Chain A
């Protein structure tokens, strides 16, 4: 199985400052069709996860443009350009290239 390793696991951030979350996979996430199925999800306290980013860098409808995804192969990054109070929660990466799909451990973002 593919192991997804996220870092950091805890991320205290000052409002208005940038934040980055990293996700490394134990093998390449490039699928046979040439796509890389790496997703990012946000789980606010008491809520279900919601997808922010799919296929590495495609932002979902309604997701603020301060969220961006990048990376390739086995190393991926979710960046928040300026953290706002509503960004508090846990962020997960999910690889969908290999079954079973695997989640990262989660990164808890909090405001300093």
Chain B
């Protein structure tokens, strides 16, 4: 079965850029949608956005001006870039595999803290 693993810096300074990588194993990234969901400490789940293996993307409106999700099919990886971060962006970031109208699989999550 597909497995997803997030990686990237765990501490980011305010106003700087958060960058995460999701490495997919146990299956090809091609043919599917992949996304990012975040969970602020002690709070609920929130979509960030998703990317199709072709590179087509969709983001939640509140983050659209700051977020970029991209994919590298030959490396079986996809990426999250979130610019101009603030403390409100502190969260557990999950990479996910989408199905039709659903989330099929989740990574284990990586906690990113925004602090100086």
Cβ-defined contact, A49 with B101, below 8 A: no
Which A residues are CB-close (under 8 A) to B107?
A: 48
Please determine whether A35 and B94 come into contact, CB atoms closer than 8 angstroms.
no
Interface residue stretch chosen among B15-23, B24-32, B40-48, B81-89? B40-48
A49 touches B102 (CB 8 A): no
Q: State whether A31 and B44 are in contact (beta carbons under 8 Å apart), knowing that A48-B106, A49-B106, A50-B106 are contacts in the complex.
A: no
Counting CB contacts under 8 A, is A76 at the interface? no
Interface residues of B in 78-116 (CB under 8 A from A): 94, 99-104, 106-109
Asked whether A100 lies within 8 Å of B109 as measured between CB atoms, the reply is no
Tell me the number of A-to-B contacts counted with CB atoms below 8 Å. 54
Q: Knowing A101-B47, A103-B44, A103-B46 are in contact, say whether A37-B106 is a contact too (CB < 8 A).
A: no
Indicate whether A51 sits within 8 Å of B102 (C-beta atoms), given known contacts A100-B47, A103-B44, A106-B44: yes
Q: How large is the interface on A (under 10, 10 to 19, 20 to 34, 35 or more residues)?
A: 20 to 34
Quote the shortest CB–CB distance from A82 to chain B (angstroms). 26
CB contacts (< 8 Å) of A96 on chain B: these are 100-103
Total interface residues on B, using CB and 8 Å? 18
Residue-wise interface mask of A (33-55) relative to B, using a CB-CB cutoff of 8 A (1 in contact, 0 not): 00101010100000011110011
Kindly identify, within residues 70 to 112 of chain A, every residue whose CB is under 8 Å from any CB belonging to chain B.
92, 94, 96-97, 99-106
Assembled-state Cα–Cα distance A106/B103 (Å) = 16
Contact A39 B44 (CB under 8 A): no
Query: B-side interface residues toward A, CB under 8 Å?
Result: 44-47, 58, 60-61, 94, 99-104, 106-109
Extra inter-chain contacts (9) besides given A54-B99, A101-B47, CB under 8 Å: A31-B101, A39-B101, A54-B102, A94-B45, A94-B102, A96-B100, A100-B58, A100-B60, A101-B101
The 7 closest A-B pairs by CB, nearest first: A37-B101, A96-B101, A48-B106, A103-B45, A100-B60, A54-B102, A100-B47
